[in-house]
Amino acid sequence: MKREEYQKNIERYESGLNIIAGAETTVSKLQEEIRIAEPKLEELSKTLAIQNVELKKVLTETNIKNEEVTIKKGEMQIEVEQLETTKNKILKDKEDTENKKKKAVKQANDLEEKDIKEV
């Protein structure tokens, strides 16, 4: 029995050694892939950093333009409100003038009727 146990242990150790050897091969391949990819990753990192700076500039410019548009929109809204106020005043003055005109025409017509009756 001891011989069988020794044999099983030897087989287990050999199996473990084979697994370790396979893992070492895998690790070596992965290390080589990392070594090959590392310069590309560094270059990509530099490119991304440059693009990030450029994007921040564009974002800042966009925010500034957005603020300018918001200010201009507010100014135009004030101008529109002023024009509306002026328009409403003109319409009111026109209505008052038309009412005065109607009153004057009525007075003139009334006067003419009176004058005609007197004559």
The tokens describing 86, both together, are 């002026």
> Band of the pLDDT at 109, cuts 50, 70, 90?
confident
Q: How far is CA 88 from CA 72, 81, 92, 94, in A?
A: 24, 10, 6, 10
pTM here?
A: 0.50
Per-residue confidence (pLDDT) for residue 43, from 0 to 100: 95
Angle at 19 between CA 17 and CA 22, to 5 degrees: 110
The tokens describing 106, both together, are 């009525």
The tokens describing 56, both together, are 């921040």
- d(CA 20, CA 114) in angstroms, rounded, equals 129
> Band of the pLDDT at 106, cuts 50, 70, 90?
confident
Per-residue confidence (pLDDT) for residue 118, from 0 to 100: 61
The more confident residue out of 29 and 1 is 29
Could you give the 3-state DSSP secondary structure of residue 15?
A: helix
- d(CA 119, CA 113) in angstroms, rounded, equals 10
Per-residue confidence (pLDDT) for residue 114, from 0 to 100: 60
